[in-house]
A and B are shown apart, each in its own frame.
Chain A
Amino acid sequence: MKLPVIGQNAAQAALFLLLLLAVPYTLPNEYYLSICILGALNAVIAVGLNLLMGYAGQVSLGHAAFYGLGAYATAIATARFGLPIPAGMAIGVSLATVVAWVVAAPTLKLKGHYLAMATLGFGIIVSIVFNEAVDLTGGPSGYVGIPRLALFGYEFASDHSYYNLMAVVLTFVVLLSLNLMKSRTGRALRALHVSEKAAASLGVDIAAHKRFVFVLSAALAGLAGVLYAHYLSFIAPASFGFGFSVQLVVMVVLGGMASVWGSVAGALFLTALPEALREFEDIDILVYGAILVLTIMFLPDGLAGGLSRLSRRLRRLRRQGDAS
């Protein structure tokens, strides 16, 4: 029996959720759980960024800014002005969304490296504001005292409960992205990636579609930022700088462009890698760089492409085995 596409996506997502929910029972201690939570947060941003980069073909070197806007907005709203957490979260996500919507119009007219430069410049400006607007953001030393997430009277006090929440959020984002890419909008985005002129001649509104996917990916980054702030209860500008924007792009490319599952894999891989390299102590950064270079050299289409090639080869081997 073959399910319709939407059903297939839902089935995959359900399986993914079960897998995620099972992970904590295999981990030796709480510390690993916190890495998993950060990995899931990064995966939410990476999946969103991949919609923009991998599917629509628009580079962004400034997505850390939207992550930071979400985090700072909810931090200031809840810790300074004492607003309830859901309100703070709504403000955080809305701020990232609105800023993205405003920035999108002039920025997305640019192409290629000029677009990369503009998003990069935007990201740097925002991170300088985080550093310099000390009265509002606490400056380079960061913002403390953000309340831990509590929704509808339930406080996500333990890391395990927070992890479960993240598993649900990530699954939802993955499902949304999978379905979106199978929709009319998704096809339009892929078409404009290949040729804007051809897509426009088929009636795709290029500017509106680019803006939509840019704003969507920024909103997802904002959502991750909000959840990050209420998880750690401490944020600092260093987490939202150019370095993190670059890391997000690396997650997307390393995972595999235009692959939702690839971005999840890329984000989890790059979040876990520095932790796994702790035992190399001083040279961990060298090993990290080397792994990055070698992965791209030997898996040019990312982890997702590598896996699908591997499974194809296995299938062929099995078929040959059946035939003989």
Chain B
Amino acid sequence: MFAGAPQYLVSGLTQGAAYGLIGLGFTMIFNTTGIINFAQGEFVMLGGMLSVCLLGAGLPLPLAIVLACLATAAIGGLMERLAIRPIAGAPAVNAVIITIGVSILLRGGAMLAFGKDTHALPAFSGTAPILALGAAIQPQSLWVLAVTLALLAALKLFFTATIQGKAMLACSCQKKAASLVGISVARMALLSFAISGLIGATAGAILAPITMTAYDVGMMLGLKGFAACILGGLGNPFGAAAGGLVLGVLESFGAGFIASGYKDAFAFVVLLLLLFVKPSGLFGKAGVERV
């Protein structure tokens, strides 16, 4: 019965790495602004769809992907500037509704621009599976894992070794104190939306050869990313990445051993049970509330 386990583990980790990246995007924005960005999934969709589109326009694959990610980062920044910053000071729920509106806009725009067809990006380095440990590993899976690790390392470096990263970290600790020491909180919010767009689009582009992409894939991927960062403890970027991996593996085992139709349900059932037992996620600190 457990013969398929290594295979499920590999596909779960691959999918989970992507969820982790999406969750990372949520965390970036949440930490600097306190907003849950419902358009995060659309960033992922844009990463995949723009890559497909640019590739179709004759650009080489690596260039197409880089441009797609940069374009999505720009869209993220624009979104903050045009839709989020003007309502600074309004209740967080208003900002969340705005992100829902923006996600509808992005999805609608993608539908008009790219059509309703499902597209696949070619795998980055062929599709000949590598046989190891009883599992057939697609080279693309290795790409996904490697890119995820590279991005995590880059973020770690960004937060610990650059002034911008430290400033962003300061914003997530205490906005007022950060602005007192001369950090522009508004600029950090802009930067976090742009980075979030970049990370989301990267996830979309590396995932597109495996799961295909279409104008409407954003919603479910966004939900999974949100689930990943809740699972890992909201606010902790590396928790989000770990949460994504856990979610991906759970889902893959659920689909393999229980019933594939219920794979999404299985992941959410485990998530709910976990939340009931540990209300602040796997790696979240139990909050101390001041009255």
Contact = CB atoms under 8 A, between A and B. Distances in A.
B105 interface: yes
B268 A124 contact: yes
Contacts of A113: 30, 36, 230, 234
Nearest to B86: A297
B265 A114 contact: no
Interface in A232-257: 242-243, 246, 249-250, 253-254, 257
A286 B234 CA distance: 31
A129 interface: yes
Interface in B249-291: 259, 261-262, 264-265, 268-269, 271-272, 275-276, 279-281, 289, 291
A30 B234 CA distance: 49
A116 B289 CA distance: 19
Nearest to A53: B93
Contacts of B272: 118, 121-122, 125
A178 to B, nearest CB: 23
Given A121-B272, A132-B262, A293 B234 contact: no
Query: Which of A124, A132, A290 gathers the greatest number of chain B CB atoms within 10 Å?
Result: A124
Interface string B90-107: 110110011011111101
Given A132-B261, A296-B94, A283 B83 contact: no
Nearest to B272: A121
Contacts of A118: 272, 275-276
B108 A124 contact: no
A300 B105 contact: no
A285 B271 contact: no
Interface stretch (B5-13, B162-170, B176-184, B219-227): B219-227
Nearest to A253: B97
Contacts, number: 116
A129 B265 CA distance: 8
A296 B97 contact: yes
Interface in A60-89: none
Contacts of A249: 97
Interface of A is mostly: helix
Contacts of B281: 114
A282 interface: yes
B87 interface: yes
A113 B35 CA distance: 10
A193 B94 CA distance: 17
Contacts of A107: 276
A203 interface: no
B261 A128 contact: yes
Interface string A111-153: 1011011101110110011011000000000000000000000
A128 B234 contact: no
A128 B264 contact: yes
Contact of B112 (A109, A122, A125, A283): A283
Contacts of B275: 110, 114, 117-118, 121
A197 interface: yes
B63 interface: no
A188 B186 CA distance: 37
A97 B181 CA distance: 52
Nearest to A117: B230
B78 interface: no
A292 B265 contact: no
Nearest to A247: B100
A195 interface: yes
Nearest to A116: B36
A289 B105 CA distance: 5
Interface in A286-316: 286, 288-290, 292-293, 296-297, 300
A102 interface: no
14 contacts: A109-B276, A109-B279, A110-B279, A118-B275, A120-B226, A121-B272, A124-B264, A132-B261, A257-B93, A285-B107, A289-B103, A289-B104, A292-B100, A292-B104
Interface of A: 59, 106-107, 109-111, 113-114, 116-118, 120-122, 124-125, 128-129, 131-132, 195, 197-198, 242-243, 246, 249-250, 253-254, 257, 282-283, 285-286, 288-290, 292-293, 296-297, 300
Top-10 shortest CB links A-B: A285-B108, A289-B104, A289-B105, A292-B101, A293-B101, A121-B268, A128-B265, A106-B276, A132-B261, A117-B230
Given A129-B265, A198-B291, 9 more contacts: A110-B279, A114-B280, A125-B272, A285-B104, A285-B108, A292-B97, A292-B101, A292-B104, A300-B87
